[in-house]
């Protein structure tokens, strides 16, 4: 049993020496001035892409220190990091009720989720092509003759496959909270469609409806990188980006020339390829200082995400069609730990290339929030760049409640910390200096436990 006690003592000593170090501003390589608008209470600053390459993964080494931190006071200002997200949950279905046909129109009711909503996407039979439809929508809180109805407008739905354009079955409502929607759908073949390609006008073509988060609750995005350089080769247009390591990319957005008024529907292909590390780069001291943790020098496989951008502004058979979608989600993982090359390819087919003014890579907006006292702290510093640090544990983060209108804080440009000094290497523990002792103690403990078990088994036998 003495061997077991010795092994426990050695393990305790090893664990005690491996505790994460305390954050100190002079051991954090980078600093950015954090300026706060006048006032007291909660303040929030939007984090930009510049911070990700030099901070540790998941931003665990971010620390805020007051102006006197460099003179010896090491008091941290606690913070919480928030990420923009829809207040409501994910897209929810609406229950389809009373589907039928009245006077040549398809009519039905939708039982809506108990929350605010705006866009409502009707699920129309995907095999139904080349049609135009006018949807007249009214809202009510009670079905039946006693229910009061409110007109919400008429909207054009369409499928223009024969014109090589797109399809839209979304009702762009104003922000609403009605418990029920009544929809009267007048459907006709799209002009120019070939005989037999228009769908049969039957109630069964309506399958249901989906309700995405309200427009008032949509996710906000921050630009990661942007370019105005778009090259065309053959049937494709290409924009290329070089992204530093650990910078998240979660959406692609296109900006067209304001003079362009044409209609289009183009598929887009986004390919991200992480750059291989040079031989031995992971052991390079400068790389270690930057926080590189990936020492795999094999050529990585590319990652591909596809999407579509479109615009349809037209008047078909007296019905106005206006729909536009110039962005789509593109969550890339190839650039999480390495620099990456991102190619955004627009497939033009036989059409003229689009006059693209700008292509943007974006991430969901992240904010750094903290409290300022009644007397505003001037010149707060946001420090980062210490791979030895673990994530901070703040009561402020555990109990954080976002303010409705926080004070605006801004981040200055990234600078090398003028007080930076490399963190001294901690002395090796006894077990690190003599690893064989731990193995000897482990073997001795196993032998001792085996002897005890053998003696006990003999006693039981007798």
Last residue of a domain, one of 216, 236, 258: 216
Report if residue 320 sits inside a domain. Answer: yes
Tell me whether residue 440 is in a domain: no
Sign of CA dihedral 130, 191, 309, 133: negative
Asked if residue 403 is part of any domain, the answer here is yes
| CB burial of residue 62 (10 Å; 0-12, 13-18, 19+) | buried
Contacts of 378 (CB under 8 A, 6+ apart): 35, 36, 67
Same domain, 142 and 253: no
The CA distance from 394 to 273, in Å, is: 37
Regions of the chain where pLDDT drops below 70: 1-19, 67-74, 86-89, 194-199, 215-218, 277-300, 316-320, 334-336, 374-378, 426-434, 436-438, 458-462
- Which CATH number do you get for residue 188? 2.60.120
Element (H, E) at 111: strand 105-111
Report the C-alpha gap between 270 and 293 in whole angstroms.
26
92-102 and 80-83 strand pairing: unpaired
Coil, helix or strand for 61? coil
Query: Helices (DSSP H) in 234-340: which residue ranges?
Result: 285-289
Counted domains in the chain: 3
279 and 190 both lie in a single domain: no
Cβ-based neighbour number of residue 316 at 10 Å: 17
Same domain, 355 and 239: yes
Query: Does residue 441 lie within any of the structural domains?
Result: no
| Cα 408 to Cα 231: distance, rounded to the nearest angstrom | 39
Contacts of 435 (CB under 8 A, 6+ apart): none
Residue 120 pLDDT: 94
401 is a domain residue: yes
Domain that holds residue 28: 19-85+366-416
Residues 140 and 27 in one domain: no
Q: How far apart are CA 455 and CA 222, in angstroms?
A: 69
- Check whether residue 106 and residue 190 sit in a common domain: yes
Q: Is residue 444 part of a domain?
A: no
Pairwise CA distance, residues 399 & 203, whole Å: 51
Q: Looking at the structure, do residues 283 and 340 belong to the same domain, yes or no? A: yes
Residue 452 lies in a domain: no
Same domain (yes/no): 357, 225: yes
Q: Which tokens in the block code for residue 293?
A: 């943790």
DSSP H or E stretch at residue 460? helix 435-461
> Are 61 and 151 part of one and the same domain?
no
Do both 260 and 356 map to the same domain? Answer: yes
Sign, CA torsion 378/28/71/22? positive
Domain check: are 122 and 152 in the same one? yes
Dihedral pair phi/psi, residue 216, rounded to 5°: -70, -10
With respect to residue 66, please indicate whether it lies within any of the assigned structural domains: yes
Residue with tokens 């220190």: 65
Type and span of the H or E element at 341: strand 340-347
Strand blocks (E) in 230-326: 231-233, 236-243, 249-256, 264-274, 303-316, 319-325
- Residue 356 and residue 232 share a domain: yes
Residues in CB range of 300: below 8 A, 6 or more apart: 273, 274, 275, 276, 334, 338
> Helices 435-461 and 2-17, interaxial angle, to 10°?
140
Residues 145 and 253 in one domain: no
Paired with 210 in beta bridges are 93, 121
Pairing of strands 407-411, 41-47: parallel
């Amino acid at each position: 049993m003495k061997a077991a006690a010795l092994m426990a003592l050695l393990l305790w000593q090893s664990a005690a020496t491996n505790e994460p170090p305390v954050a100190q501003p002079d051991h954090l390589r980078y600093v950015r001035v954090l300026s706060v608008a006048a006032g007291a209470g909660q303040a929030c600053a939007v984090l930009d892409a510049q911070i990700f390459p030099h901070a540790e993964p998941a931003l665990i080494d971010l620390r805020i220190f007051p102006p006197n931190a460099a003179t010896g006071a090491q008091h941290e200002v606690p913070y919480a990091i928030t990420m923009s997200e829809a207040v409501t949950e994910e897209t929810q279905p609406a229950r389809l009720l009373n589907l039928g046909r009245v006077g040549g129109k398809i009519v039905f009711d939708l039982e809506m989720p108990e929350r605010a909503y705006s866009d409502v996407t009707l699920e129309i039979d995907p095999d139904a092509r080349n049609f135009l439809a006018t949807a007249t929508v009214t809202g009510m809180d009670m079905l039946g003759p006693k229910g009061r109805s409110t007109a919400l407008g008429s909207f054009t739905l369409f499928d223009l496959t024969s014109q090589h354009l797109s399809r839209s079955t979304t009702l762009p409502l104003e922000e609403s909270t009605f418990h029920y929607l009544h929809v009267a759908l007048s459907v006709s073949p799209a002009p120019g469609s070939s005989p037999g390609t228009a769908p049969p006008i039957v109630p069964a073509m309506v399958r249901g409806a989906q309700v995405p988060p309200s427009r008032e609750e949509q996710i906000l995005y921050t630009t990661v990188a942007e370019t105005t350089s778009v090259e065309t080769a053959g049937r494709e247009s290409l924009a290329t980006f070089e992204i530093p390591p650990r910078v998240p990319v979660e959406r692609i957005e296109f900006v067209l020339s304001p003079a362009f008024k044409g209609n289009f529907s183009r598929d887009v292909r986004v390919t991200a390829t992480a750059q291989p590390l040079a031989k031995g780069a992971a052991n390079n001291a400068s790389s270690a200082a930057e926080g590189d943790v990936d020492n795999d020098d094999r050529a990585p496989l590319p990652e591909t995400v596809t999407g579509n951008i479109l615009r349809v502004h037209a008047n078909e058979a007296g019905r106005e069609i206006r729909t536009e979608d110039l962005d789509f989600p593109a969550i890339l993982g190839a650039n999480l730990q390495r620099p990456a090359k991102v190619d955004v390819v627009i497939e033009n087919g036989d059409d003229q290339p689009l006059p693209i003014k700008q292509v943007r890579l974006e991430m969901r907006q992240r904010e750094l929030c903290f409290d300022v006292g009644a007397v505003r702290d001037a010149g707060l510093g946001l420090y980062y760049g210490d791979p030895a640090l673990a994530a901070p544990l703040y009561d402020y983060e555990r109990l954080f409640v976002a303010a409705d209108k926080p004070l605006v804080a801004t981040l200055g440009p990234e600078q090398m910390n003028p007080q930076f000094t490399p963190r001294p290497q901690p002395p090796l523990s006894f077990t690190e200096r003599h690893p064989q002792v731990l193995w000897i103690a482990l073997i001795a403990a196993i032998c001792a436990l085996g002897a005890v078990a053998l003696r006990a088994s003999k006693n039981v036998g007798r």
